[in-house]
Structure 1
């Protein structure tokens, strides 16, 4: 997963992630990665319209975002 995230950060691609939040609920987010630091990813979340921190081990899937259709 880390290698994929690093590649998406390098290319600047928007990414669809499936993430397990602190309440163990699954959520799909479209994000633009800004920084990878230790166990966390800082990204702009388009659902929340804000910068967010995501734990890498809670990101279950990450793929390049499609412009008009969700892939999950």
Structure 2
């Protein structure tokens, strides 16, 4: 996720969304290593990360 903070600084974060509201959402932020609340209006870009597990037969 590319996110713009209230002071205008932009950061790139890897998050796990926990709860979505009307104007904000709660997520675990791997950058800060804590649960954070993000404003939906400040999200600049989102890209889903898909993990593929490979099994050896």
Instruction: Bin the TM-score by the shorter chain.
Output: 0.7 to 0.9
Q: 1:8-30: per-residue Cα shift (whole Å, max 9, x none)?
A: xxxxxxxxx00000110110000
Q: TM-score, normalised by structure 2?
A: 0.82
Which structure is higher in strand share? 1
Aligned counterpart for 2:27 among listed residues 43, 46, 50: 43
- TM-score using structure 1 length: 0.66
Unpaired stretches in structure 2, ≥5 consecutive residues: 52-57
For structure 1, the 5+ residue unaligned runs are 1-16, 68-72
Moved over 3 A (4+): none
Contact 1:30 1:65 in 2 (8 A): no
Q: Which is richer in helix? A: 1
Q: 1:60 aligns with which of 21, 40, 44?
A: 44
Distance 1:60 1:34 in 2: 19
